[in-house]
Amino acid sequence: GASGRPQHALMPAIKAEIAEFRGKAQAMPALALAVSMARYHFAWYRDGTSDMDVESVEDAANLMYASIQFSGCGRPDLSIDAFFQRMCNARWPYAVMLYSELGREFAARYLTDQAATIL
């Protein structure tokens, strides 16, 4: 990937804050959606490169899936109203996108076992 790009001055503070909330998400599953979205928006790439940060993206995907479970979005008996009230219509597409992009990255790196597991 391209390197040498300067890091934004706020990135260390942003990453530290995301890490702090990530540490709390295990005990407070209501934070999983927010932490997943923060990792998606601010930790997709390795610092100063155009390379995917696969650990961060996988964590974001797993957190999004945890938010689906926590919110009850995986329940087939959930009413349409509850589905929208719980933002399931936002959670599911992000989970699919995160896991599929991660699987695509693993496949591009010829990491077929990881790609098969993720996909």
pLDDT digits (tens, 9 = 90+) for 10-23: 888 988 999 999 99
CA gap 113, 7 in Å, rounded: 33
Residue 81 counted as domain residue: yes
Q: In the chain, which residues have pLDDT < 50? A: 1-2
The answer to whether position 1 is within a domain reads: no
For the chain, how many structural domains are there in total?
Answer: 1
Q: What is the pTM of this model?
A: 0.83
Given this model, what pLDDT does residue 6 score?
65
Phi, psi of 34 (to 5 degrees): -65, -45
Q: Work out the mean pLDDT of the chain and round it to a whole number.
A: 88
- Cα separation, 86 vs 97, in Å, equals 19
Q: Six-digit token pair at 85?
A: 């009230």
Domain residues for 41?
11-118
Residue 59 lies in a domain: yes
Cβ partners under 8 Å of residue 32, min gap 6: 25, 63, 64, 66, 67, 70
Site of tokens 């260390």? 12
Within a domain: 53: yes
Question: Per the domain annotation, does 6 fall within a domain?
Answer: no
